[in-house]
C-alpha cells in the first residue's frame, strides 16, 4: 500500500481558504501556494530562475495507436524519454510529476484496457517523483450515477498496476464531477492511503465547481485530513480567452483563495466537432484574442494587440523576456514569449501569496480586493463567511 504524502500546514488565512503547506515530493520539500512549471514552450536558451522552480508538471497525451508505439517502437519510446529529460533539465531538475491523458480515437469513449493501463502507469511512474493516475477526460464528461462504479474499477486497475513495484507516493485523479462523486472519490483515495490529488477542471472555471470543492473539503475534514491534503489543479479557465474583451480577470490565480494549492497547466483539447470550431473561427479572431499578457498587479489578462502601443505601462519590469523582443512578426514566437512571461509572473504571484498567508492571514481578502480586475462576485464567494 502506498504511503501518504508528507504534508504539514504552515499557515492559513482567516478570511479565505488561502493557505500555505510544506509538502514532501520525492526527496525535496516545497511550499505552497505554488505554480507548477511547464517547460514545453521554452526555447533551448530559455533560462528560468531556479528560485521559481518549486514543482514541474510534465504532460503527454496518448491514444490506442500511440500507446502501442510507446510500448513496441524503440525509437518512438526513446524520443519520448529524451523529450521529458530535456524538459526536466530546463526546470533545474526540481520535483516533478508526469500527467498522462488517455483519449481514444473516434466519437465513442472508453477506458484504457488493462494492458494500456500498464503502459500508462509505467511511463508515469518512470518520469515522476509522485505518480499521478492517468486522466480519462472523454470518460469523465459522460459520468453519471449508473456508470460511476466503472470509474472506480478503472482507478483500482491503475492503483494495482502502480503498486506492483512502487516506491513512490501516488497522486489521485479527480475530474470535474458532481459533489456526490467528489465525496466518493475522496473516501476511495483516503482508504488507499492517498492524500494528494490533481483536479481536472477540463477547461472550465473554478467557480462553476465550488459545491464539488466544498463537498470534498467537508469529507476530508470528517476523516481528519482538513489540512493534511494537497490539491493540484489543471485545465482551469480564467474565462473564455477567445472573447473580444480587452481584459479578462485572472480567475485561475484566485483558485489559491479557494484552498487549492498548486496551479498546473492547460491541456484540455477540443470538446466539440470540427464544424463548430470552423464556424467559431469565422466569427472570432481567435489568434488575436488568445494572445494575452498577465498583469499580477491588477489580476488582468490583457489582449496583447490592445495594449501593444502602450506596452511599457503594463509590462512587468522583471520579465524574463525584454519588451523589445515582443516586436516580432513571428506569431508563434510571440505566443511562446507571452507564455514564458505569464508563467514567470504566476510563479512570482504564488510566492507572494505564501507571504500574504504567513504575514497577514486576516487580510487575504483585502489583498484580492486590491486587484482591480477581480470581480465582485468572486470576492463574495472567496470570503470564508460565505463558505
Instruction: Give the integer Cα–Cα distance in Å for 127 and 141.
Output: 27
CATH T-level assignment (fold) for domain 7-386: TIM Barrel (3.20.20)
Q: Is the pLDDT of residue 277 over 60?
A: no
Q: Tell me the C-alpha distance between 117 and 275, whole Å.
A: 32
Burial of 167 (0-12, 13-18, 19+ CB in 10 A): exposed
Cell numbers representing residue 24 in the block: 514532501
pLDDT of residue 276: 45
Give CA 251 to chain center in angstroms: 13
**Does 33 sit behind a cis peptide bond, omega within 30 degrees of 0 on the bond before it?**
yes
Find the helix packing angle between 64-72 and 114-126, rounded to 10°. 60
How far apart are the C-alpha atoms of 63 and 377, rounded to whole Å? 40
List the strands of the sheet with 19-25, edge to edge.
Answer: 7-12, 19-25, 28-31
**Is the pLDDT confidence value at 295 over 90?**
yes
End-to-end Cα, the chain, rounded Å = 35
pLDDT digits (tens, 9 = 90+) for 142-189: 999 999 999 999 999 999 999 999 999 999 999 999 999 999 999 999
Distances, alpha carbon 171 to alpha carbons 3, 131, 159, 166, in Å: 11, 6, 10, 13
The per-residue pLDDT for range 3-46, each reduced to its tens digit, is 999 999 999 999 999 999 999 999 999 999 999 999 998 998 89
pLDDT band for position 327 (cuts 50, 70, 90): confident
At 81 the pLDDT is 97
For residue 169, the number of C-alpha atoms closer than 13 Å in the C-beta half-sphere is 26
Q: How confident is the model at residue 240 (pLDDT cuts 50, 70, 90)?
A: low
> Rounded to whole angstroms, how far apart are CA atoms 142 and 154?
14
**Domain boundaries in the chain?**
7-386
**3-class DSSP state for residue 188?**
helix
Q: What pLDDT is stored for residue 39 in this prediction?
A: 95
Amino acid at each position: 500500500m502506498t504511503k501518504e504524502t508528507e504534508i504539514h500546514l504552515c499557515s492559513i488565512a482567516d478570511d479565505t481558504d488561502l493557505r500555505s503547506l510544506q509538502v514532501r515530493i520525492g526527496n525535496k520539500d516545497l511550499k505552497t501556494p505554488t505554480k507548477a512549471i511547464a517547460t514545453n514552450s521554452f526555447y533551448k536558451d530559455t533560462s528560468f530562475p531556479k528560485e521559481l522552480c518549486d514543482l514541474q508538471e510534465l504532460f503527454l497525451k496518448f491514444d490506442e495507436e500511440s500507446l502501442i508505439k510507446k510500448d513496441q517502437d524503440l525509437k518512438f519510446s526513446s524520443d519520448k524519454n529524451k523529450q521529458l529529460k530535456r524538459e526536466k533539465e530546463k526546470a533545474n531538475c526540481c520535483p516533478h510529476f508526469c500527467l498522462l491523458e488517455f483519449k481514444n480515437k473516434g466519437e465513442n469513449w472508453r477506458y484504457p484496457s488493462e494492458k494500456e493501463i500498464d503502459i500508462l502507469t509505467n511511463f508515469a511512474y518512470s518520469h515522476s517523483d509522485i505518480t499521478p493516475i492517468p486522466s480519462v477526460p472523454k470518460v469523465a464528461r459522460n459520468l453519471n450515477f449508473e456508470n460511476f462504479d466503472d470509474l472506480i474499477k478503472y482507478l483500482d486497475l491503475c492503483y494495482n498496476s502502480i503498486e506492483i513495484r512502487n516506491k513512490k507516493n501516488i497522486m489521485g485523479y479527480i475530474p470535474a464531477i458532481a459533489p456526490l462523486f467528489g465525496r466518493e472519490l475522496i473516501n476511495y483515495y483516503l482508504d488507499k492511503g492517498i492524500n494528494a490529488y490533481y483536479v481536472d477542471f477540463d477547461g472550465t472555471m473554478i467557480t462553476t465547481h465550488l459545491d464539488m470543492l466544498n463537498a470534498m473539503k467537508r469529507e476530508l475534514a470528517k476523516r481528519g485530513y482538513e489540512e493534511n491534503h494537497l490539491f493540484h489543479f489543471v485545465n482551469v479557465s480564467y474565462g473564455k480567452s477567445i472573447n473580444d474583451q480587452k481584459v479578462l480577470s485572472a480567475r485561475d490565480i484566485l483558485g489559491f483563495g479557494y484552498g487549492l494549492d498548486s496551479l498546473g497547466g492547460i491541456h484540455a483539447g477540443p470538446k466539440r466537432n470540427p464544424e463548430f470550431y470552423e464556424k467559431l473561427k469565422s466569427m472570432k479572431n481567435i489568434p488575436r484574442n488568445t494572445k494575452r499578457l498577465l498583469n499580477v498587479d491588477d489580476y488582468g489578462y490583457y489582449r496583447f494587440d490592445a495594449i501593444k502601443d502602450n506596452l511599457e505601462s503594463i509590462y512587468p519590469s522583471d520579465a524574463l523576456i525584454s519588451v523589445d523582443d515582443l516586436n516580432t512578426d513571428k506569431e508563434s514566437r510571440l505566443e511562446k514569449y507571452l507564455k514564458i512571461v505569464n508563467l514567470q509572473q504566476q510563479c512570482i504571484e504564488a510566492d507572494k501569496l505564501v507571504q500574504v498567508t504567513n504575514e497577514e492571514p486576516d487580510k487575504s481578502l483585502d489583498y484580492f480586493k486590491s486587484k482591480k480586475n477581480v470581480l465582485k462576485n468572486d470576492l463574495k464567494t472567496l470570503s470564508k463567511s460565505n463558505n
